[in-house]
Amino acid sequence: MTEILRTEGLTKYFGGLCAVHDVTFSMKEGEILGLIGPNGAGKTTLINMISSALTPSRGEILFKGERSSGIGAHKANLLGIARTFQIVRIFSKLTVLENVLAGVVDRRRKGPWRLIAESIFKPRDGGKAERTALETADRLLDFVEISRYRDEKAENLPYALTKRLEMARALATDPALLLLDEPSSGLNPAELNGQIELIRKINGQGITILIIEHVMKVIMDISDRLIVLHYGEKIAEGQPQEVYSDPQVVEAYLGDETDASH
């Protein structure tokens, strides 16, 4: 299988504070890689660098063989990296459908000026482009099972469903790599199973997934491999079972008194 992502010596400083230090790993196409570690270990910072919301202080990121560090979050998406956020960032005043439609827009081919021209001088295709977009959006809503709320304002959605909406929106951009930042946070046990299902479904579509998670049940269940971060450094990597029983990992969690209990 081809390598889809590689980081080399990835490091990030915030002023004098080192959040991520010399992290190197790679991901194969189609796998689900879990990223775990105690609070403050640098997981979100790492994801922010991969999604290019942050520029690394040192090190490289290669996506599909091309340098992608520091190109900017929107460019990263155009290349094929999509993400969800730890605290959901949906477009609250838009409807659920519009949220996904925003993602459906083919931004690889069309910038704002083209969109402006197309909006005022509608292309003569009898509404075909519009219908296709709507169909795609509806299909995605169906995929994440929130079609019921199609015309609701996103801000009226219950929290668990906003996470699904965010995923649908991310999927709408047709990504090759999906970064999930704590997809289970804020969910109750009943909702967790649904979330695991959904992530498997997405992976089944051929999308590579990098998932940060605190909830052990989810991450152990779903990941093909695990990486453990502690104080910004990679301290373990491998199959879930071996990582789980790695003494260094155990100490990192117990030492920090975080939730190994889940």
Partner 1 sequence: MSANPAVRNRLGLVLVLVLLVLLPRIIQDRYHLHIIVMMGIFTILTLSWNLLAGYTGQLNLGHAAFFGIGAYTSALLAMNTGLSPWLGLPAGGLVAAFFGFLLGFPALRLSGPYLAITTIGFAEILRLVAVNWVDLTRGSLGLSGIPLLTPIEIGSWSMKFYFEKDYYYVVLAGVLLTIFCMRRLVRSEFGVSLQALRDDEPGAQSIGINISQYKLAVFTVSAFFAGFAGALFAHFSRLVSPETMALHTTFDILTMTMVGGLGTLLGPVLGAVMLTFLSEWLRYFEDLIQFDIRLVVYGLLLILTILFMREGLAGVVKWIADWIRSALKGEKGGTPS
Quote helix, strand, coil % in the chain, to nearest 5.
40, 25, 35
Contact, 36 vs 215, CB < 8 A? Answer: no
Considering only residues 105 to 124 of the shown chain, the ones binding partner 1 according to CB under 8 A are 105, 107-108, 110-113, 115-116, 118-120, 122
Nearer to partner 1, 134 or 216 (CB): 134
Least separation in angstroms between CB 140 and partner 1? 12
Considering only 103, 183, 232, 240, the residue that binds partner 1 (CB under 8 A) is: 103
Strand partners, 8: 60
Least separation in angstroms between CB 31 and partner 1? 22
Strand partners, 155: none
b/e map of 146-167 (b: 16 or more CB within 10 Å)?
beebeeeebeebeebbbbbbbb
Handedness of CA 33, 204, 143, 26 (dihedral sign): positive
Considering only residues 47 to 66 of the shown chain, the ones binding partner 1 according to CB under 8 A are 51, 53
Stretch that binds partner 1, among 36-44, 103-111, 189-197, 240-248 (CB under 8 A): 103-111
Nearer to partner 1, 122 or 200 (CB): 122
Considering only 50, 161, 168, 172, the residue that binds partner 1 (CB under 8 A) is: 172
- Write the CA distances from 103 to 8, 38, 81, 126, 211, integer angstroms: 30, 32, 13, 22, 20
Residue 90 in contact with partner 1, rule: CB under 8 A: yes
Residue 169 in contact with partner 1, rule: CB under 8 A: yes
How many separate helices (H) and strands (E) can be counted in the chain? 10, 10
Handedness of CA 49, 53, 55, 60 (dihedral sign): positive
Least separation in angstroms between CB 228 and partner 1? 26
Residues making contact with partner 1 (CB under 8 A)? 51, 53, 72-75, 77-78, 82-83, 85, 89-94, 98-99, 101-103, 105, 107-108, 110-113, 115-116, 118-120, 122, 133, 169-170, 172-173
